[in-house]
Amino acid sequence: MKKFNIKPTDKSIAGTIQAKIDHLNKPKGSLGRLEELAMQVCLIQHTLSPTLNHPCHLLLGGDHGIEREGVSVSPREVTWQQMINFTHGGGGVNMFCRQHGFDLSIVDVGVDYDLSEVEGIINRKIARGTRNFLHEPAMSVEQFNRTIEVGCQLVDDCVKKGCQVICLGEMGIANTSPSSLWMSIFGSIELDECVGAGAGLNNPGVEHKRQVLNAALKHYNETMEPSDLNAIRYFGGFEMVAAIGAMLRAAEQGLVVLVDGFIMTACAIAATRLYPAAQDYMIFTHCGDESGHRKMLDIVGAKPLLNLGLRLGEGTGALCAFPIIDSAVRMINEMNNFDTAKITKYF
């Protein structure tokens, strides 16, 4: 895997940032999480006057070999059907990108369908879906490295447009399965506690999913040397590993990284296992409705901004949270302070 140069944000200016926030014409601490967000964005950009120019959203698509084991209520053809739907502007991700002014890129990293001629889809296909990790690694070392590089290149393309904030979403039937396995492995949590209904499995379906994933984990432990990289490669989907590459490259480039729901939180955890400093650049935007997401957020000590019961994926929760982050930046840039407002500082 390529090496990244990710440095923790420079906290040396934190006191100066806090002084500016405290001197705005409001009671100290009265804007709560907005003040925390303003601090984080200022530290990421190393400035007292942060900006959120040209926000970009990467929608990454890929299929999973484990879907063949009946672990999802949705068949795999839904992945490519939705990818085409996104090009017509008909998805939740399209609506929220339009609403909040995000530049949307729809990327085929590993969909099991030929989308190369579909206008509006960027072709970065590694393979037509991963292999079935019940029996073997989802991807080879070479595929893993190429997929990380895809994520990096996509971020570099956004930076060339002037992007300062990047949002990540996914489309991949059955991708709650690898997410649950990463949650169990990286969080040292019993796998059964990490497995949920995904897009809508009933109770017998969830039990079947647990049995399949437990068998896959057993096979992994018996055949692979345990390591963070091996766990990521063995279970991950192409869209998920590309997201990890994108998160790491975005942190390296000093971008604000908006982390969506269950799947993207799993990717964020995997990324921070490889490079812990990457978390300084991440804003965890919401706690979704998938079983165990709260526990997953607890693994990295994240405080999500929203809890709307979302479980759509696509990055929709992160997009919904963006106005809150925008408000935090506007607060530190646009509010008067006590001197300019000619108000007595009363604390």
So which residues are the catalytic ones?
A: 314
**Distance separating alpha carbons of residues 156 and 252, to the nearest angstrom:** 11
Which residues does residue 306 pair with via DSSP β-bridges, in sequence order? 286
Question: What values do phi and psi take at 145, rounded to 5?
Answer: -65, -40
CA 134 from chain center: how many Å? 25
- Cβ pair 320, 96 in contact under 8 A: yes
- The secondary structure of 156-169 as a DSSP string is HHHHHTT--EEEEE
Segments in 161-310 forming alpha helices (H)? 176-187, 203-223, 228-235, 238-252, 262-274, 293-299
**Distance separating alpha carbons of residues 69 and 301, to the nearest angstrom:** 33
Burial 65-80 (b: 16+ CB within 10 A, else e): bbbebebbbbebebbb
